[in-house]
Structure formats: C-alpha cells, structure tokens
Structure 1
Amino acid sequence: MAFRRACRCLLLVSLALLPLGMAMDSIGSYCAGTSYAGSNKAVANINSVLADLVATGSSGGFATSTAGKGNNVIYGLAQCRGDVSASDCAACLSDAANQLPSTCSYSSDARIWYDYCFVRYENANFFGQSDTDAGVVLVNVQAEDNAKAFEKAVGKVMGKVTAQASAAGSAGLGRDKEQYTPFVSIYGLAQCTRDLAPLTCAQCLSTAVSRFGDYCGAQQGCQINYSSCRVRYEIYPFYFPLAGSGGGRATTDMTKYTKIVVHP
C-alpha cells in the first residue's frame, strides 16, 4: 500500500474522558476514499469482513479478514489492547464493527479507534505494513512544572515499553512505569498490531514516540494512536492490572484532554 505523504491537517477539539469501564465511546475515526454505500457487493463484503473480525478477534484479541474479488475486495483488521479482558475486548470490537460503517458511510478506507480496541478495513492490502499517517492524539491539558525532567522521565519509560513491544514473542505489547518523584510515577504503554514484524513494529513505535515533542511536551498524559501502533503515558495507572486496585477498574475521573485528529 502506497503511503500518503501529502499534508497533515489537525483538528483540535476539547474532550472530557469518562472513567475507564464506563461508556465505551470511540476516541476517533478516519474515513477516506469513495463510498461503497451504493454497491451491494462491496457493502456485503464489508459487512462480512467486520462480522468475521468480531467473531475471530473477540477470543484472541487480534484478527485479519478478507472478502470479495477484484475491485470489491476488502481487507480488514481488528485488535484489542493487549491488557484488556476477553469480555471487554469482545464488547469493544462489537461496538466498533457496528459503528464503523455508519460513521464512514461505507467508505473504501475506514478506521475507528477506541480506548480498548481498533478496527479497520480498506480496499487495498495493508497487512504487515507500518502506517503512521492517519491517527488520533489525546493530550492532557495539565502540564508539569519541571518540563525537562518530566520529559526525560517520559522518554525513559517509553524507551522501556517500546523495547518490550518490539521484541520477538511479545505479541506487540509493552507496559511499564517509571518513578518520577517520590509521589508520582509515570505509566507507559506501547502496542503494535500483531501483523507487524518486530523491526516494522519498532519503526512504527519510534515514529510515534518521536512525535511526543510535537504534541505532548510536558503534559501530564498523552497518547498517539496510529493504524499500526499506539503509545501512551499517564501519571496514573491506566493499563491492566491496575496498580493498587486489586485488579478492578479505574474509578478516578480523567481530566479534560485535547483531541487531535491527524489526517494524511
């Protein structure tokens, strides 16, 4: 698949995030290409791919699927965040598959991001390729006072989690934390889609982390979600098992974030 390198347009929107485990809402979507709404064959192929992704991805957290031939062929991918439960994964994929066709009006290239999962389909084969064009960025509006020290600590934890995620046998997931002050820890997560080879995963994550300087600065939390990898850090536990929660869900309300939708 030829990558699009035209220009990047940013749409900034204020966003209040609910506590984890409450309403499962999309954090962003991307729609491109032509609409297949008037093509019965293409619509049937899209619906078939999405149904297959939900059925096969719910148990293992990852799935790819294809349907159709020629101009009507559709390639699809679904992945859950590697730390979420099977039930949360299944619920997220089901909601994503239901929302994506209507959100994108059966576009030939459609993607939707959730906190717990990501679903995508396209009329071109993108399997195994790093894609850091379209994406969704969430940035905490609160910043740390000592920017240099905080960014250094963020870089340290993200270095650890990206190394974990790109290591062979890791299933593309890395999680860790770094002590910033005696009272504050920085929690980090990195993940690639499982169709990527370790080197391709490392390249995707390196690109994503390199853009922390563009978007995140010394903000107390930030996540960059691309189509083939995602990176995130916060100053509170957000990945499972939640530290100090006995394995339960997060109950603390998250502060307002800025949402940036990145278009190629």
Structure 2
Amino acid sequence: MAPSLHNPPFIFFFFIFSFFFFPISSTDTTSLIFKGCSKQKFPDPSQIYTQNLKSLFSTLISQSSQKPFFSTSSGDGGTSLQGLFQCRGDLSLPQCNDCVSKIPSMADKLCGQALAARVQLTGCYLRYEVAGFREVSGTELLFKVCGSIQVAGSGFEERRNTAFEMVENGVKNGGALFYAGSYRSVYVLGQCEGDLSEGDCGGCVKTAAEKVNGECGDSISGQIYLNKCYISYNYYPNGIPSISLGPFNSLVFILFFSILG
C-alpha cells in the first residue's frame, strides 16, 4: 500500500547535507555544486518506486541528447514520479547529455532511496519527486555561496546591480531563459527552469538578485540558487585576468574564482 503523501511528515523539504567544490577546468561541467534529498525513503520491500525511478532516469538521459530541458513522469497513480533536467544555456547537446548522464548514479549515492531529490552540477541539474509532494515555491532559496573577499565603495554595488538588471532583461528578451554577459568587470550569468514564462523568469531572477544583496553583501563573488532559477556573479576590482573564457564557460570560471575569493 502506497504511503499517504498528504500528511505533514511527507511534506517535501530540501535538506542540503553538504556541498563540494573541486579544482575544475574551464571545460568541466559535471562537478557537484549541491544536493537536496528528502528524508522520506521509498517503502520497503516495494520495488514499484525504484522501477519507476529507473524508467524516469532512462527517459531523461535519452532526452538530454535532443534538448536542454525536459520534464516528464513515470508510473501511475500514487506511485508515479515526476522529474526533469535542465542544462546550462551555453552547453552543446553532447555536453548536456554527458552532464545529465552522470546524475542518476550520483543521486543514488548521495540520496539513496529518497522520495524526492535534486542534484545540481556545474552544467546541469536533475530533480524528481513522488506524486503528491507539496511543491516548493519557485523563489525558495536552495543554496548560496558568497566569496570571502569584500569590496565597498568604488561604485561596486551600482555596477553589480546594473549587471543584474542586464540578466533580468536578458532572460526575458533572449528567448532562452538564459543570459551571460558582463558590465564594467562584473561577470554575470542567470538561468530559469525551462517551464517558466519569460515574465516569471525575469521575476525569479530579480528575486535572486535581491537575495544576493541580502545574503552576500559586498562579496565580490556569489551564486544564489532558487528553486526555479539561479544567478551567479564575479567582480574583478584589479582588472580582468588574462584568460580566455570561450563562449561563456564562465560559470565554471566564476565558481573557480569564487573559491579563491
């Protein structure tokens, strides 16, 4: 008998047990940023959930070679699972497929038989939940990291806010819910989940930018991950390092320099 998923103990919350950073190259897209796992596990000895999860993973991996975002479900009734993946907007389809293909085995090791989980890598993320879980708000803060170096004055806050406005406008007007660019030594990147409208995406990114100001203060680097979008930035007060970024493999670049910060 399937468990009741509408009682308070089964309300889904992300528990960020840990996060890891690794020395990464400018082409790396599969390093773990964070994981979120529900406390509730698949009922034992039933194998229905695990079979549905395997089927869901197989479909998502297959679709990741054809498109950068896809959502679907697996199974019927109370044992069905909903899931999706999304790749960073500057990845090719082969890169997307390679990134998404890494997640199922990682999810099994990191979250075990959790009834809901999200695994976020540098270049993509995948999440799933059993039917009936209470939805998390699109602007729920899932994860943050702020650089330790602070900078005040010199127009930094104004530069960063202008860069964030560029992201907000870019995701609304670019047609891909993704934007990467720079403004006066502030590099920024933002992306929304593929099922959002352009207007909702702009609103989500704006909320993420506001959370940066509140959570990271004057840090010269930071990343804010909300449930439906994220934003990342890095400021170089002493000049931009003489390194080739390529077509904005810069999220990895930003994450790397955030560690140094």
The answer on 1:149 being equivalent to 2:155 is: yes
Choose between structure 1 and 2 for higher RCO, CA contacts under 8 A separated by at least 6 residues. Answer: 1
Q: 1:187 corresponds to which residue?
A: 187
Quick check: 47-56 or 199-208, which moved more? 199-208
Aligned residue number for residue 254 of structure 1? 256
Give the Cα–Cα distance (whole angstroms) in 2 for the partners of residues 41 and 32 of structure 1. Answer: 18
Structure having the larger proportion of residues in helix: 2
Answering whether residue 211 of structure 2 is matched by residue 211 of structure 1, we say yes
Give the equivalent residue in structure 2 for 1:199. Answer: 199
Among 143, 146, 165, the alignment partner of 1:139 is 146
| Per-residue Cα deviation, 1:154-211 (whole angstroms, up to 9, x for no partner) | 11011111111133x61211122101xxxxx111111101111223222322221110
Matched to 2:171, the amino acid is A
CA–CA distance in 2 between the matches of 1:89 and 1:107? Answer: 24
Q: Tell me the residue number matched to 1:29.
A: 35
SS in 1 for 2:40: strand
List aligned pairs for 1:37-56, cutoff 5 A: 38=44, 39-56=46-63
Q: What letter is aligned with 2:178?
A: L
Give the residue type in structure 2 aligned to 1:25: S
Show structure 1 runs of 5+ residues with no match: 180-184, 237-241, 259-264
Q: Normalized against structure 1, the TM-score is what?
A: 0.78
Higher strand share: 1
Name the counterpart of 1:182: none
In structure 2, the gaps of 5 or more residues are: 1-5, 237-241
The question of 1:99 aligning with 2:124 is answered no
CA 1:34–1:229 in structure 2 vs 1: closer, same or farther (change >3 Å)? same
Tell me the amino acid that sits aligned with residue 87 of structure 2: C
**Cα distance in 1, alignment partners of residues 83 and 125 from structure 2:** 11
Cα distance change on mapping 1:243 and 1:82 into 2, 3 Å: farther
SS at match of 1:87: helix
- 1:122 to 1:139, Cα distance in 2 relative to 1, 3 A: same
**Percentage of matched positions with identical amino acids:** 23
Q: Map residues 62-141 of structure 1 onto 2, 5 A cutoff.
A: 62-124=69-131, 131-141=138-148
Comparing 242-251 and 82-91, the one that deviates more:
242-251
Residue 74 of structure 1 and its aligned partner are, at CA, apart by 0.4
